[in-house]
Structure 1
Amino acid sequence: MNKGLIALAFGGMAIGMTEFTMMGILPDIAKDLDIEIPQAAHLIALYALGVVVGAPTLVLISGKYPPKTVLMALMLMFVVFNGLFSIAPNSFTLEISRFASGLPHGAFFGVGSVVATNLAKKGKEAQAIATMFTGMTLANLIGVPLGTYIGHHYSWRLTYGIISLLGLITFLALMFWMPKISSNSKGNLLHQLKYFKRGQAWLLIAIISIGTGGLFAWISYIAPLVTKVSGVAEDRVPLIMVLVGLGMFFGNIIGGKAADAMSPTKATIACFSSMAICLVVVHFTAHIHSMAYIMAFITGVISFSVGSPIQMMLIQNAKGAETFAASAGQASFNMGNTMGAYLGGIPITMGFAYDTPVLVGVGMATIGVGLTISFLMTQKKKL
């Protein structure tokens, strides 16, 4: 395998750990800082806000520099801000460093996606992107459970110190393994921003922000779903999350192969359709104890298969602004994170059971299907 792709996968794992480990160690952070858990939960939203702000901004600023240099600079930011987060003495500095640690996230995946396509063999571009995202799936499979365990039994600060160290390893891997690739950007900010003048750009943003919300309407409430509805013991929730991570690992690979085989747009339609159907099954089988384990894996496979096809859609439909488009896609993905979690929580606040957020996810994934079909129709009209 290309060593440059392995370096990108290291980055994906580091970023995946810093984003998703937070969900498992919120009580530990709250106890350590003597704050309430809802206040500690602001750290999740602040990270997502950092991604949304940093993704397009950093890509625009760094567009004229070689991709290898940009990736190394972004990972250096990752190391510094996660390191500061691990030693922050109070909630204010904790929140500032958490927001800052989200800044390089989207830009790294945006630049990395374009670099991966350049490193790939012809016809294998989506699979190369999937290799980069394999790091994030491994984070959910191995890194997040391990980081949560360390946070619970030792210190959450140690967890984020280790995450910062993983970022440093990624920095070194990029330095020694990533080949030099010339920048495709003209370095013109106005030229990059013209991407938003295209109707297809906004349609793609809507597809990602709404369609991927189906995933987050499910996973944001998976713990109370399996414990309160399926009857899974609380100490078995980590096993559920491992099964989700394992499913994501395989789903990422499947999605990359599907995008190369049938076109990214058609693969996205298939993935969102499968997601909607799968979430319906989750809702109607949630009361069956054994199905909680089975559907955790299956839903992980299906929900994460859409990542690589969507990245390829962005790159293929943003001539002259590929990196900017790919990074904007990461910002949109985090908007989907926020929307899915928020909308999924509404039926719970209205008194409905914990198996109802997945129905919100069904609706969001279905809208994603409709929007992607509309996008496909606009492509056909151009031919």
Structure 2
Amino acid sequence: MPLTTDGSTPLSSTRIRLALLALALGGFGIGSTEFVAMGLLPNLAQDLLPGVYAASPDAANAQAGWLISAYALGVVVGAPTIAAAAARWPRKQLLLALLTAFTLGTIASALLPSFESVLVARFLAALPHGAYFGIASLVAANLMGPGKRARGIALVLSGLTIANVIGVPIITWIGQTSGWRVAYLVVAGIFALTFAAVAIFVPFQSGNPKATMRAELRAFRRLQVWITLGIGAIGFGGLFAVYTYVAPLVIEITGLPAAAVPLVLVVVGLGMTVGNFAGGALADWSVRRTMYISFAVLIGALVTLGLSAQSLAGLLVGVFLIGAAASALSPTIQARLMDVAHESQSLAAALNHSSLNVGNALGAALGGVAIAGGLGYLAPVWIGVGLSIIGVLLTLVTFSIDRRWRRRGVDVPYGTQLIGVVRDK
């Protein structure tokens, strides 16, 4: 049965599929712009930090990791700010504005001359990231219909994971052969193409006419929102502690040539794609069980990589499972946030990407400190294990609170207490 987006206009199944593909294409562009720096980290370091690189490639790679942290911090800042301020905007128009910002920010990243200016450009280019995924997820959930919320989220995120199978390896190869600046111009082209696809295929969806910034920001008063954000920010850091430094890991620890890095990124991307769709389906079954299963697989995969990265098989199995487990967490955490944030749905959908990119920044920063301190390129893997264990502990806390409220006869997750308030209606 055709779905509607404004309560009156029926949509054909073909139109719905094309709209979902357009939204996923935006995720493809975002995945490309976010993750291509990881495969090109030595190239960025050598070009933007030539003096540091000549003295110490390890130190230059660690400093170049700040570009990844800057992007992640831009997501953290931009997601709640834009989502809360623009919750009343028509969703299609907001998506088009965000895609324009992506295109311009990525072009600036490609053209600016110095490390410091590129650092600023990466921060600015990241500001629309969380808001795009948040609003696109709401649009996709509406298009998918009742009972398929997490699968709608996963479809939007599938563009990001597929980018790691196709886009990131190809663009990494382009960057290695033609220069990293050309690689970023290719990414800008993807965003321009997405703008056209969204303009043509995504139907009108109104924003929330009752939304205000104050009402959206009320989500920050909820303890369960903060705990769930912590699960993403800390637990997801295990992926990025490894992924940020995957290029030197492949070259220095496994002993493969630089040409093998794009192939390893394909394996990571395949894991992410499998995990994303599995996580979306499983989260519609049980958010709680999916989080526990995903963290168990993630910790096991990190330990496997830490013990066997010197071999090709150990490397490939480890990075595939790390990508799969971490990506299964993404739609699951987003579904949990949308549950515990009550009426602040636009903000909740965007906050997931703030929390995951805190994990991005945290994992990259801690891994960089360990490498710069002479602990080697396996040290980030063990940092990832520690971060993931903390994520499990926070997961235990959030669901133990649910159980406490259930014993008191309050429905959960909507019966979640406010910070400083005894109970919530």
TM-score (norm 2): 0.83
Distance 1:225 1:90, change over 3 A: closer
In the alignment, which residue of structure 2 is the partner of 1:368? Answer: 391
In the alignment, which residue of structure 1 is the partner of 2:316? Answer: 293
Contact 1:71-1:108 at 8 Å conserved across structures:
yes
What's the CA shift for 1:338? Answer: 1.6
What's the CA shift for 1:335? Answer: 0.8
Task: Give the length in aligned residue pairs.
Answer: 382
> Within 5 Å, which residues of 2 pair with 1:60-209?
60-184=84-208, 186-209=210-233
What's the CA shift for 1:4? Answer: 1.9
Distance in 2, matches of 1:216 and 1:14, equals: 19
In the alignment, which residue of structure 2 is the partner of 1:223? Answer: 247
What's the CA shift for 1:345? Answer: 4.4
Q: Pick which of 344-353 and 263-272 moved more.
A: 344-353
What's the CA shift for 1:250? Answer: 1.0
Identical positions, percent: 39
Distance in 2, matches of 1:353 and 1:28, equals: 19
What's the CA shift for 1:378? Answer: 1.9
**1:21 and 2:36 matched:** yes
Distance in 2, matches of 1:215 and 1:34, equals: 26
Distance 1:41 1:211, change over 3 A: closer
Contact 2:73-2:361 at 8 Å conserved across structures:
no
In the alignment, which residue of structure 2 is the partner of 1:257? Answer: 281
What's the CA shift for 1:245? Answer: 1.1
In the alignment, which residue of structure 2 is the partner of 1:313? Answer: 336
Distance in 1, matches of 2:238 and 2:209, equals: 33
Distance in 1, matches of 2:249 and 2:40, equals: 19
**1:276 and 2:291 matched:** no
What's the CA shift for 1:31? Answer: 5.1
In the alignment, which residue of structure 1 is the partner of 2:347? Answer: 324
Distance 1:213 1:254, change over 3 A: same
**1:3 and 2:18 matched:** yes
Distance in 2, matches of 1:30 and 1:288, equals: 26
Tell me the amino acid that sits aligned with residue 396 of structure 2: I
Distance in 2, matches of 1:284 and 1:89, equals: 40
What's the CA shift for 1:94? Answer: 3.1
Contact 1:130-1:253 at 8 Å conserved across structures:
yes
Tell me the amino acid that sits aligned with residue 164 of structure 2: N
Tell me the amino acid that sits aligned with residue 205 of structure 1: L
Structure of greater Rg: 2
What's the CA shift for 1:118? Answer: 1.3
5+ residue gaps, structure 1, are: none
**Cα RMSD (Å) of the superposition?**
2.2
Instruction: Provide Cα deviations, 1:75-96, integer angstroms capped at 9, x if missing partner.
Output: 1111122123333344554333
